[in-house]
Amino acid sequence: MRVLIGGGSGFVGRELTRLLKSKGHEVTIISRQPGPGRITWADVESGGLPPCEGAVNLAGENIMNPLRWWNDSYKKDLFSSRVDTTRALAQAIAASSSPPRSWVLITGVACYKPSLQSQYTEDSEWTPFDLLSQLVKEWEEAGRLPHSLAQSTRQVVIRPGAVLGRDGGAMKQMLTPFWLGLGGPLGSGRQPFPWIHVSDLAGIILHALETSSSPPSTQLEVFNGVAPALNTNYEFTKELGRILRRPTLFPVPGFLMDTLLGSERAVILMQGQKVVPKRTLESGFQFRYPDLTSALREIVGG
C-alpha cells in the first residue's frame, strides 16, 4: 500500500514510517520542507493528491514547545497548522480521481472535559468547553469528506492521550528533571493521565489503514488512542521514579505550571480525562504496552 503522511517527519510520523516500511508499504511524507521521500503542502495544493491507498495527517505545531510563550500568535499557529493542513488533505482527497481507501486523522483527547469521575469512550457526547476542545472540533470538522466518498474512503479519527516514546513527545522533556531527582506529581497528582506508547499509536494507525469498514459510512469512525490502564498523574510519576530509581518527593505546584505554560495549556497536565479505548479494543487491536510498567521499561530501560 502507498501511504501519504502529512507531518510524517515528526515524533509519531517517524515511528509510523518505520512500522509501515517494515510491513513492505511505501511512504511519502508531506512536509513544509522538500526532500527525499517528501512532497510539500504547496505541491499538494498545486498538483493534487499523489496516488495512494492510505492518507494520514499528523501535522501540527508542537503544543508543548517550551520555547514558545503562550500568546495569540502561538495559539493561531496551533490552530492553523492542524486545521489548514487537515482541510488541504481532505480537499485533495475529495478532488482526487482515485481517492485512498482510508483517511486517518490524529487529533487528541482534549475534546473530553477533564474530570476526576467521568469515564469517556468514543461514544461519549461532547461539545467544546475551552480552547483546546474548540481546536479538536475545528480540526475534526476540517477532515470531513463529502458524502459522495462514503463508498470509497473510510474516514477515521484517532484521539491519542500523551504519546510516550524514547525520541520525542512528553518523555523527552520529562526525563532530565526525573534523572536529577526533581520529578514529582503535578499538583495533587489525582488527575487522570491518559497516555499511549508511540509504538501502539503507530499500530492503531496501521490497523485503521489496513482494515476496511463494512458497510462504508459517511460517519467518522473514532478510536481513542490511549492505553487501557487508566492511570493518574501520581501513578505515572511514582512508576517512572521507581524504574529510574530516582526520588519523586516534591509535588510541582499548579501556579508554577500555569506561569510556565499558560493556564489554558497547563490544563493538559494539571487536569485530565479518564479515557477508555473501547472501540479500539473492540476492533481487535492488541496493545503491546497496555500498562505503565511495560511501556516505561521499554522507553527508559530497567
**How far is Cα 74 from Cα 174, in angstroms, rounded to an integer?**
22
Which CB sits closer to ligand NDP, 204 or 244?
Answer: 204
Q: Residue 31 interacts with ligand NDP (CB under 6 A)?
A: yes
Which among 78-86, 141-149, 173-181, 236-244 is the span making contact with ligand NDP, rule CB under 6 A?
78-86
**How far is Cα 170 from Cα 203, in angstroms, rounded to an integer?**
19
Q: Residue 192 interacts with ligand NDP (CB under 6 A)?
A: no
Q: Is 159 exposed, middle or buried (0-12, 13-18, 19+ CB in 10 A)?
A: buried
Which CB sits closer to ligand NDP, 100 or 169?
Answer: 169
Q: How many CB atoms lie within 10 A of CB 215?
A: 6
- Position among 169, 184, 241, 272 found at the interface with ligand NDP (CB under 6 A): 169
Cell numbers describing residue 299? 522507553
Which CB sits closer to ligand NDP, 150 or 174?
Answer: 174
Shortest separation between residue 32's beta carbon and ligand NDP, angstroms: 4
- The phi, psi pair for 179, rounded to 5°, reads -60, -35
Indicate the DSSP class of residue 211. Answer: S
Which CB sits closer to ligand NDP, 67 or 215?
Answer: 67
Which among 56-64, 90-98, 238-246, 290-298 is the span making contact with ligand NDP, rule CB under 6 A?
56-64
| Residues 105-134 interacting with ligand NDP (rule: CB under 6 A) | 106, 108
Name, in order, each residue with C-beta under 8 angstroms of 229's C-beta and a sequence gap of 6 or more. Answer: 290, 291, 292
Instruction: Transcribe 5-68 into DSSP letters.
Output: EETTTSHHHHHHHHHHHHTT-EEEEEESS--TTEEEHHHHHHH-PPS-SEEEE-----TT-TTS
- Position among 55, 162, 186, 208 found at the interface with ligand NDP (CB under 6 A): 162
Size of the residue set binding ligand NDP (CB under 6 A) = 27
**How far is Cα 60 from Cα 83, in angstroms, rounded to an integer?**
9
Shortest separation between residue 208's beta carbon and ligand NDP, angstroms: 14
Which among 30-38, 204-212, 258-266, 285-293 is the span making contact with ligand NDP, rule CB under 6 A?
30-38
Q: Residue 272 interacts with ligand NDP (CB under 6 A)?
A: no
Helix, strand and coil content of the chain, in percent to the nearest 5, comes to 40, 15, 40
Q: Residue 208 interacts with ligand NDP (CB under 6 A)?
A: no
Cell numbers describing residue 164? 510516550
Pairing state between β 162-165 and 195-197? parallel
Output the CA–CA distances (angstroms, integers) from residue 37 to 48, 176, 252, in the order listed.
Answer: 17, 33, 43
Which CB sits closer to ligand NDP, 249 or 260?
Answer: 260
Q: Residue 223 interacts with ligand NDP (CB under 6 A)?
A: no
Which CB sits closer to ligand NDP, 9 or 28?
Answer: 9
Which among 166-174, 175-183, 240-248, 273-281 is the span making contact with ligand NDP, rule CB under 6 A?
166-174
The residue of the chain with the least Cβ separation from ligand NDP equals 10
Q: Residue 145 interacts with ligand NDP (CB under 6 A)?
A: no
Q: Residue 32 interacts with ligand NDP (CB under 6 A)?
A: yes
**How far is Cα 161 from Cα 154, in angstroms, rounded to an integer?**
23
Q: State the amino acid at position 231 in one-letter form.
A: N
End-to-end CA distance of the chain: 37
- Position among 20, 49, 59, 227 found at the interface with ligand NDP (CB under 6 A): 59
- Binding region for ligand NDP (CB under 6 A): 7, 9-13, 31-33, 58-63, 77, 81-82, 85, 106, 108, 160, 162-163, 168-170
